[in-house]
């Protein structure tokens, strides 16, 4: 369908605000504690290794760079990064008056707010062309266009060439069927234009660093910059949204950048933005085979040759590791490695099509430790169809490899999230039928309910013994998480201030707190063992899995009392540091001490 010619030079790109869903009491606490970067900086005394990630939105920064190279005026609004409310984003959009607005949806927690904003924007400025993109929108584009009049188009997969072509077409009043990868309405219904050829990553301009500039403009510290050295992945893990993004790209499934160009970009970000740490956002940083390995070596050597004082984090598959390459990368600043281990159960790894073995997982953990890399293990303890034998295998794996000895042991308590467009979603639909979507009205409540249903927010665990294990474990992990992630930062901030007045007392208290913080990992492993054994015993005896929650509560309370006989919050709030603990935290955490 041809659209009317109009003057269009401005493009706004929005990273919508994330908001947790509230309809699942079994949800992990960390998923509900989304905060803006400014709030994180305000609340913590130190980043340490717990807070290395900024909220920079690299996807829209890539789009902005391509649009600006094409001569367009672009405004980026990263809601989480900038701490913008929906109203603030809407006001900024109205003020900027773009002809084209793109909403980038990385994942489910952004969907409702993006739709609310798009609706409001269309009411005020109906002539604005609204396009959605990103992994989530790519997965449900057809449904979004069928359901929401406020969306004019959805771009599937890579967006750089598509958004530039879309802007040009709108300016020229041309035919939208020529815009690659665009789904849009026509007189004949919704059509999906063919995706274009995979982009040559070395032809793309370096991303515009508006996110970092915004942080710096507000006088906040810049912890790290995101960076990609490659795109895509050749694996087909059932839970991952990447296979849907690279679908049909044949040789372009995994593409690499020229390592010298990557280091050029790093050098520019160090020079222009004062950044010294990078968070590699590659799907699989180390890549595949000899060509990837040569590229990694060239990348490491280039950083060393230019004497760039940087450090970086990257995510890797365990079947891509070459010790010599890792050592060269370590010399170049690679100090933190996230492995997608996922499971210690051969059955689970096979069911999730992970394409790697438990033995490879164990070897990778050992290698990372031998090379003295900071290891961040990514584990998914179970999914909705896990058997207790699979969970027991993973608990034993965690014990054997001492994975709980990491800076973030609570990340081990993780249930598989079913993401739209994945093989896991198709499997869930096959077993349970497609979700029956609730009716939509104009109100926010019905919209959020619709979003929760379409994004699989509640996937009940089938096996009652696994369900009881998860419920008891997650409840205590959530209490620990509330304490460590919400109470402790505020306490540390107060103790830091106290230390300037009275060094000795404060140091003793910080030492106790540090010992308690370190003990959470081993205590968590002990709790997993206790619960999985109790659940297995009940299953063996064909008894209902009763009492696991009480068992877990008693265990965690005993653990706390060993470190703080008077109760941790009582001890810390009585330290003279005032009462730095938010009310919601003390309410959520207090039952620990009184349980038993």
Partner 1 sequence: MSVAADLQQTSSAEAIAADLAAVLRDITAANELVPPDADLVSDSFGAIGLNSVDYLEFVLNIESRLNIDVPDEALMDPALKSVLAWADWLAVNAERLRTPDLAAR
Q: Which is nearer to partner 1, 233 or 487 (CB)?
A: 487
CB of 71 to partner 1, least distance (A): 36
Q: Shortest distance, CB of residue 511 to partner 1, whole angstroms?
A: 6
For partner 1, give the closer residue by CB, 44 or 440.
Answer: 44
Residue pair 448/550 in contact (Cβ under 8 Å)? The answer is: no
Residues 6+ apart with CB under 8 A from 290: none
The DSSP string of 79-138 is HHHHT--HHHHHHHHHHH--SEEEEE--SGGGHHHHHHHHHHHHHH-TTSEEEEESHHHH
- How far apart, in whole angstroms, are the C-alpha atoms of residue 573 and residue 591? 16
Q: Which residues contact 3 (CB under 8 A, 6 or more apart)?
A: 169, 170, 173, 174, 176
* Least CB distance to partner 1 at residue 338 (A): 12
Give the closest residue to 409 by CA, choosing from 296, 492, 300, 527: 527
DSSP 8-state secondary structure symbol assigned to residue 416: P
- The smaller minimum CB distance to partner 1, of residues 90 and 263, is found at 263
By beta-carbon proximity to partner 1, the closer residue of 42 and 87 is 42
Shortest reach from residue 254's CB to partner 1, in Å: 28
Cα 132 to Cα 112: distance, rounded to the nearest angstrom = 13
Nearest in space to 509 (alpha carbons), one of 445, 580, 444, 410: 580
Residue closer to partner 1 by CB (options 276, 586) is 276
DSSP H stretches of helix in 274-383: 289-305, 323-331, 346-351, 358-370
Among residues 384 and 404, whose Cβ is nearest to partner 1? 404
With b for 16 or more beta-carbon neighbours within 10 A and e for fewer, the 569-582 pattern comes to bebbbebebeebbe
Q: Tell me how far CA of residue 174 lies from CA of 126, 127, 166, 179, in angstroms.
A: 19, 16, 9, 10
The whole-angstrom separation of Cα 580 and Cα 377 is 32
CB of 99 or CB of 223, closer to partner 1 = 223
Q: How far is the CB of 89 from partner 1 (least distance, A)?
A: 27
**Least Å from the CB of residue 296 to partner 1:** 20
> CB neighbours of 222 closer than 8 A, spacing ≥ 6?
54, 212, 215, 216, 273, 274, 275
- CB of residue 379 vs partner 1: minimum separation in angstroms? 18
Rounded distance between C-alpha atoms, residue 553 and residue 544, angstroms: 19
User: Which residues here bind partner 1, judged by CB under 8 A?
Assistant: 41, 44-52, 221, 223-224, 276-277, 309, 311, 335-336, 369, 372-374, 405, 407, 488-489, 492, 495-496, 499-500, 503, 506-507, 510-511, 513-515, 517-518, 521-522
CA distance to 44, 300, 314, 395, 580, per residue, from 411 (Å) = 19, 30, 17, 14, 25
By C-beta, is 240 or 495 nearer to partner 1?
A: 495
Closest approach of Cβ 391 to partner 1, in Å?
25
Cβ 463 to partner 1 shortest distance, Å? 33
Q: How far is the CB of 524 from partner 1 (least distance, A)?
A: 13
Minimum CB–partner distance for residue 488 and partner 1 (Å) = 7
To 5 degrees, how large is the angle CA 486–CA 488–CA 493? 105
Instruction: Please say which residue, 114 or 341, places its beta carbon nearer to partner 1.
Output: 341
Q: Which is nearer to partner 1, 41 or 461 (CB)?
A: 41
What residues pair up with 184 in beta bridges, in sequence order? 153, 191
Question: Cβ 567 to partner 1, closest distance in Å?
Answer: 18
Q: Which is nearer to partner 1, 125 or 330 (CB)?
A: 330
Contact 93, 265 (CB under 8 A): no
The alpha helices in 248-316, defined as continuous H runs, are 259-273, 289-305
Nearer to partner 1, 8 or 491 (CB): 491
Which 3-state string (H, E, C) describes 390-412?
A: HHHHHHHHHHHHCCCCCCCHHHH
């Amino acid at each position: 369908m041809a659209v009317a010619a109009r003057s269009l030079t401005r493009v706004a790109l929005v990273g919508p605000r994330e908001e947790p869903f509230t309809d699942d009491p079994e949800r992990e606490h960390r998923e509900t504690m989304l905060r803006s970067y400014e709030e994180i900086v305000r609340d913590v005394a130190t980043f340490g290794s717990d807070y290395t990630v900024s909220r920079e939105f690299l996807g829209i920064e890539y789009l902005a760079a391509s649009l600006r190279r094409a001569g367009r005026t672009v405004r980026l609004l990263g809601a989480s990064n900038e701490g913008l409310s929906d109203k603030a984003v809407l006001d900024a959009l109205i003020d900027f008056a773009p002809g084209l607005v793109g909403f980038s949806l990385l994942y489910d927690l952004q969907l409702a707010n993006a739709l609310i904003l798009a609706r409001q924007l269309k009411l005020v400025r109906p002539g604005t062309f609204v396009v959605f993109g990103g992994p989530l929108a790519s997965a449900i584009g057809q449904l979004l266009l069928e359901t929401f009049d406020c969306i004019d188009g959805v771009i599937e997969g890579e967006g750089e060439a598509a958004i530039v072509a879309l802007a040009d077409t709108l300016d020229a009043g041309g035919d939208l069927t020529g815009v690659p990868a665009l789904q849009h309405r026509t007189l004949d219904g919704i059509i999906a234009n063919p995706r274009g050829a995979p982009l040559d990553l070395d032809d793309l301009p370096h991303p515009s660093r508006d996110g970092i500039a915004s942080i710096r403009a507000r006088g906040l510290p810049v912890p790290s910059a995101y960076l990609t050295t490659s795109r895509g992945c050749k694996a087909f893990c059932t839970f991952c949204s990447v296979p849907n993004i690279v679908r049909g790209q044949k040789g372009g499934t995994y593409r690499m950048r020229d390592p010298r160009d990557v280091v050029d970009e790093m050098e520019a970000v160090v020079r222009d933005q004062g950044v010294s740490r990078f968070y590699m956002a590659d799907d699989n940083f180390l890549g595949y085979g000899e060509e990837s390995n040569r590229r990694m070596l060239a990348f490491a050597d280039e950083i060393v040759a230019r004497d760039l004082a940087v450090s970086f984090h990257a995510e890797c598959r365990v079947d891509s590791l070459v010790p010599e390459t890792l050592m060269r990368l370590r010399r170049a600043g690679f100090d933190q490695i996230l492995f997608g281990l996922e499971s210690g159960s051969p059955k689970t790894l096979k069911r999730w099509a992970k394409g790697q073995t438990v033995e490879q997982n164990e070897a990778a953990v050992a290698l990372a430790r031998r090379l003295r890399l900071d290891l961040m293990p990514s584990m998914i303890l179970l999914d909705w169809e896990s058997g207790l034998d699979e969970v027991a295998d993973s608990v034993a794996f965690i014990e054997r490899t001492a994975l709980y000895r990491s800076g973030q042991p609570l990340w081990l308590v993780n249930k598989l999230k079913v993401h739209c467009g994945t093989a896991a979603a198709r499997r869930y639909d096959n077993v349970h039928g497609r979700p029956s979507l609730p009716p939509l009205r104009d109100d926010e409540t019905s919209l959020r309910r619709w979003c929760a249903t379409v994004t699989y927010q509640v996937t009940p665990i089938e096996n009652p013994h696994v369900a009881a294990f998860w419920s008891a474990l997650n409840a205590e992990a959530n209490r620990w998480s509330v304490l460590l992630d919400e109470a402790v930062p505020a306490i540390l901030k107060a103790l830091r201030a106290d230390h300037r007045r009275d060094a000795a007392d404060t140091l003793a208290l910080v030492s106790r707190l540090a010992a308690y913080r370190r003990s959470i990992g081993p205590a968590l492993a002990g709790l997993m063992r206790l619960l999985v054994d109790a659940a297995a015993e009940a299953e063996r005896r064909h008894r209902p899995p009763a009492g696991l929650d009480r068992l877990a509560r008693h265990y965690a309370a005993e653990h706390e009392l060993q470190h703080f006989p008077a109760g941790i919050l009582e001890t810390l709030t009585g330290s003279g540091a005032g009462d730095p603990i938010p009310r919601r935290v003390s309410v959520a955490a207090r039952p620990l001490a009184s349980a038993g």
